[in-house]
A and B are shown apart, each in its own frame.
Chain A
Amino acid sequence: MIELDIQLTQGTFRLDVTATFNGKATAIFGPSGSGKTTTLDAIAGLRAPDRGVIRIDGRALFSSRERVNLPSHQRRVGYVPQDVALFPHMNVRLNLLYGRHPGTSPPLERVVSMLEIESLVDREVGALSGGERQRIALGRALMSGPSLLLLDEPLASVDVPLRRRILPYLQRVRDELHLPLVYVSHDREEVQRLADYVVVLEAGRVAAAGSPAALLGSNPGTLEP
């Protein structure tokens, strides 16, 4: 169960998001500039709200009333930003192992085989394609043993054929690791394929929330080969 009540002002932009969701994969959907990334940043602890509450399964990550603001390194929230940000001075293996934590991290072999990145482990980061970078960034986040995974437009920077190849990996993470996903998207089809709950943002506010079929129609679109 994820409870959000985030109020945050950034220049002239005001974010006021209140939502509670319990899905396996929740999409934050909306046009650019609607506050999607800012919402993820707040959950990850990279930007503190002015007021509000952020709770995962009852654990307060942020609460202005209780004066709680856990630093991001104590939140156990995996984050794959839009530009994936693989550490350029480390090879793939060191990237994957950066957040490894004895006890909470899954075995490296399991993550590597689930994402099918066996052949990439000893490569340099600069030698990877866009889709490979996405998978490594996903693996790096999984290796930190998070209790929640945030993905910022995981498929936006890759072309359509590649999307078809990456989407199944996200579905596997969702189904095999039982790890709740919260991901940002402005792509209707992507939301329909992956999410079981959608929060629609418009100009910093929640315009609607519910099942993808109810909110975005039931046509799964053209992503399916």
Chain B
Amino acid sequence: MDVWQITRFTVACAIAATVMVLPPGVAIAWVLARRRFTGRTLVETLVSLPLVLPPVATGLILLMVLSRRGAIGRILESLGIEVVFTWKAVVLAMAIMGLPLLVRTARAGFEQVNQRYEQVASTLGAPPSRVFFTISLPLAWPSIVAGAVLAFARGLGEFGATIIVAGSIPGATRTLAVAIYSYAETGQDREAAALLVVSATIAFLALWYANRLAGRRPA
């Protein structure tokens, strides 16, 4: 049994998904926290949709968009990039499922930053980009890290979207959650139990760390 291969692969994919989702997630969180614009509720709703949509449905949407006949899949194919049923699909599924958790947590972090800090920084001559990188981002940082850890943990447990868009190819796309399901279904209870312990341990540690960070309030 490839407990270590599966664990390494899953953790690597979840880290890749978190890194990928951080820049857009933080940007969306900041915009939602600090800007008033028409269509704001629409952005908020779209970003949060993966939280409430059945993951299998999210996976199906991804499959339709990314398959060879899909809108994006066609472009990717012409560039020679194959996503569906590869590790890239695993990463993408994890990223999309993790995005709402990151955005919500980071947004709360930005909202907690006293706007007077940002205003004073601008009166001191700092243009908006400098205010963002030297004031808003560092003060919201604990919440951003907490959100990233949540997204990472969510990625580890991703099942529904992954199995649709990436399948369960041993050694290629099989993640912890998918492997637990396969082993349990085929009666390999010992293997399933081993993976269960691994994923429960990682999930526990990640959540514990995220909660500790989120408990810290910026001054």
A75 to chain B, nearest CB (A): 7
SS class of chain B's interface: helix, strand, loop or mixed? helix
Q: Is the interface of A mostly helix, strand, loop or mixed?
A: loop
Provide the residues of chain B in CB contact with A87, threshold 8 Å.
117, 121, 135
Q: Are B123 and A75 in contact (CB under 8 A)?
A: yes
Q: Contact between A140 and B124 (Cβ–Cβ < 8 Å)?
A: yes
Task: Tell me the B53-88 residues at the A interface (CB within 8 Å).
Answer: none
Inter-chain CA distance A45–B122, complex, in Å, is: 9
> Does residue B23 face the partner (Cβ distance < 8 Å to A)?
no
Q: How far is the CA of A4 from the CA of B185 in the complex (A)?
A: 76
Complex interface bits, B131-162 against A, C-beta within 8 A gives 1, otherwise 0:
10011001100000000000000000000000
In the complex, which residues of chain B have a beta carbon less than 8 angstroms from the beta carbon of A106?
none
CB pair B120 A81 closer than 8 Å: yes
What residue in chain B is nearest A89 (Cβ atoms)? B138
- Chain A residues near B205 (CB-CB < 8 A): none
**A76 contacts across to B, CB distance below 8 A:** 125
Complex Cα distance, B121 from A75, in Å, reads 12
B36 contacts which chain A residues (CB < 8 A)? Answer: none
Q: Is A98 an interface residue (CB 8 A)?
A: yes
Known: A87-B117, A89-B139. A77 touches B123 (CB 8 A): yes
- Please, which residues of chain A bring their CB within 8 A of the CB of B219? 88-89, 126
Judging by beta carbons under 8 Å apart, are A144 and B125 in contact? yes
B116 & A99 in contact (Cβ 8 Å cutoff): no
Instruction: Evaluate contact between A99 and B139: CB separation under 8 angstroms.
Output: no
State the Cβ distance, A205 to closest chain B Cβ, in Å.
25
**Is B41 positioned at the interface, with any CB of A under 8 Å from its CB?**
no
Q: Which of B125, B131, B139, B218 contacts A101 (CB 8 A)?
A: B125
Beta-carbon contacts of A32-66 to B below 8 Å, as 1s and 0s? 00000000000011100000000000000000000
Number of A-B contacts (CB under 8 A): 67
**Given A87-B117, A126-B219, are A73 and B139 neighbors across the interface (CB < 8 Å)?**
no
Distance between Cα atoms of A85 and B219 in the complex (Å)? 10
Within 8 A of A (CB), among B112-128: 114, 116-117, 119-128
Contact of A98 among B114, B116, B124, B218 (CB under 8 A): B124
CB-CB under 8 A from B123, the residues of chain A are 44-46, 72-73, 75, 77-79, 99, 141, 144
A116 at the interface (CB under 8 A from B): no
A101 to B130, CA, bound (A): 14
Q: Which residues of B contact A77 (CB under 8 A)?
A: 123
Contact string, A68-101, partner B, CB cutoff 8 A, digits 1/0? Answer: 0001111111110101010111000000001101
A85, B116: Cβ atoms under 8 Å? Answer: yes
Tell me which of B124, B127, B218 contacts A144 (CB under 8 A): B124
- Are A73 and B125 in touch, CB under 8 angstroms? yes
Q: What are 16 A-to-B residue pairs whose CB atoms are below 8 Å?
A: A45-B123, A46-B119, A71-B127, A72-B119, A72-B123, A73-B124, A73-B126, A77-B123, A78-B123, A81-B116, A85-B114, A85-B117, A89-B139, A99-B126, A141-B124, A144-B125
Known: A87-B117, A88-B219. 20 other contacts (CB 8 A): A45-B122, A45-B123, A46-B119, A71-B122, A72-B123, A73-B122, A73-B125, A74-B125, A75-B123, A76-B125, A81-B119, A83-B114, A85-B114, A85-B117, A85-B119, A87-B121, A88-B117, A98-B121, A140-B124, A144-B125
> A residues touching B (Cβ–Cβ < 8 Å)?
44-46, 71-79, 81, 83, 85, 87-89, 98-99, 101, 126, 140-141, 144
